[in-house]
Amino acid sequence: MSSVVISVDAELGWGFHDLKDPPQKRVEYARNGWIQLHTLCERYSIPATWAIVGHLLLDECDGAHLSHPTPPGWFARERDQWRLRPDLRFGGELVRALQASELDHDIGSHTFSHVLFDDPRLDEAVIKAEIEAAKDAAKPYGIEYDSFVFPRNAVGYREVLADAGFRVYRGSAPQQLTHQRQWEKLSATINPDRVPLVEPVVDEYGLVDVPPSVFLFGFQGLPRVVCETLWMDPIVRQVTGAIDNALSSGGVVHLWLHPNDLVTERDVNRLETIFAYIDAKRNSGLAVETLADVADRVLQTEQDYQQVSLLNQ
Ligand SMILES: [Zn+2]
Ligand SMILES: [Zn+2]
């Protein structure tokens, strides 16, 4: 099986509300980026996993969250600076548009208020409250989550997810390019083999772990400009090469991004080039899967395997 999975951390303002200085451009472009990403999905018939921050599904909120056991001040930005910015705090109509699509988008969860699962101030009670709040907010939309994406990829509390009915999550990256220096990344970009094809596995809680292959906007700034001038967009080069590798050897290329990464026309062009390539390679046998599709496939195989083992006993 050769496939591409795209997972989207869909959060509008919530990905930044805890930061002292939120990146203004990305905050302001978040909604537009969401719409552009959705438009490209439709244009190239590419269903994706949209892991949404549950708070986006509320109709209104005074920012108090009195019964939510998050640390003091967690909702301060919503209450204060973003009090008059419903566009950053709510996004029900954006989610309804995904549900109305003829494509089978997978609406997953990215918690309720973007808590970090490795935050030492949090305990299991907060995590459970986040998951419950995210599920409650999704009920009026008829959404039952299969898929989970951890904020800032901090994997944790997987037993809570399993108990809550999730089946699949985006795991940790097999190699951490993010901690390398930009110029070291530069040399890595020439080689598509540096984008790992990932192997979904069933973890000890029965959840399917689908690690990411590449963050589509992890390579920015001057090195990106240098690469684009000398060759072509380095991420496009890597991803198209990785797709070719997947087609020849089998495997999953798992791409991820935030809608708020789409700030400039160049960013949108990068994504469109990749989507067009994916679409074109369907003729060669490339499948496009969501995280929920991968869970169906992997858990079915696991079940078949167990049945055969039982028969052989
Ligand atoms: Zn609120
Ligand atoms: Zn996030």
Taking residues 150-165, what's their average pLDDT?
97
Inform me whether the pLDDT recorded for 110 exceeds 80. yes
Ion ligand 2 — residues with CB < 5 Å: 9, 11, 15, 151
Distance CA 14, CA 6 (A): 20
Q: Is the pLDDT of residue 284 over 70?
A: yes
pLDDT reported for residue 43: 98
Question: So what's the pLDDT on residue 183?
Answer: 57
pLDDT at 306: 83
Instruction: Report how far ligand 2's centroid is from the alpha carbon of 18 (Å).
Output: 11
182 band by pLDDT with thresholds 50, 70 and 90: low
Give the three-class secondary structure for 2.
strand
CA of 14 to the centre of ligand 2 (A): 7
109 alpha carbon, closest ligand: 2
DSSP string, 155-190: ---HHHHHHTT--EEE---SS-GGGS-HHHHHHHHT
Which tokens belong to 22?
């939120």
The ligand whose atoms approach the alpha carbon of 12 most closely is 2
What separation in Å is there between the alpha carbon of 64 and the centre of ligand 1? 7
User: What's the CA angle centered on 234, arms 233 and 239, to 5 degrees?
Assistant: 105
Contact yes or no for 109/94 (Cβ under 8 A): no
Spacing, Cα 262 to ligand 1 middle (Å)? 25
- pLDDT single digits (tens) 51-109: 999 999 999 999 999 999 999 999 999 999 999 999 999 999 999 999 999 999 999 99
- Separation of CA 15 and ligand 2 centre (Å): 5
Instruction: For residues 106 and 266, give the distance between their C-alpha atoms in angstroms, rounded to a whole number.
Output: 27
State how far the alpha carbon of 98 is from the alpha carbons of 37, 141, 146, 217, 271, in Å. Answer: 11, 11, 16, 23, 18
Task: Report the distance separating Cα 151 and Cα 256, nearest Å.
Answer: 12
pLDDT the model gives residue 175: 59
Do 56 and 91 touch, CB atoms closer than 8 A? yes
pLDDT for residue 190: 58
pLDDT of residue 311: 82
pTM here is 0.92
Q: How far is the CA of 99 from the centre of ligand 1 (A)?
A: 23
CATH code: domain 2-312 is 3.20.20.370
Predicted confidence (pLDDT) at residue 129 exceeds the cutoff of 90: yes
* 174 vs 32: which has the higher pLDDT: 32
CA of 62 to the centre of ligand 1 (A): 6
